[in-house]
Amino acid sequence: MEFLSRRGIAYEGRDISEKQEFIAELVGMGYMGTPVTLIGDEAVVGYSPDKLNKVLRAQGFAGG
């Protein structure tokens, strides 16, 4: 995800079109759409730079 890369934050990307298990994992967590960004114990559903920055700051990531 370019948003995290630009901030130098390492992440694991999971493309639901590549593996059925990724879809099952999201559904198991209660999500029906993408993107879902998990940061620590927080989830940001959809692409919202403001929400992502807020959660990154709360989780202690510099530049968030």
The reply to whether 63 falls in a domain is no
Q: At 51, which CATH number?
A: 3.40.30.10
| Two structure tokens written together for 2 | 């370019």
pTM score, whole prediction: 0.86
- Residue 24 lies in domain: 2-58
Q: Could you report the average pLDDT of every consecutive run of 10 residues in the chain (64 residues)?
A: 91 95 96 95 95 95 71
The reply to whether 64 falls in a domain is no
Tracing tokens 């879809």 back to the chain, one arrives at 23
Residue 61, pLDDT score: 87
Structural domain tally of the chain?
1
Give the per-residue SS3 of the chain. Answer: CHHHHHCCCCCCCCCCCCCHHHHHHHHHCCCCCCCEEEECCEEEECCCHHHHHHHHHHCCCCCC
The reply to whether 26 falls in a domain is yes
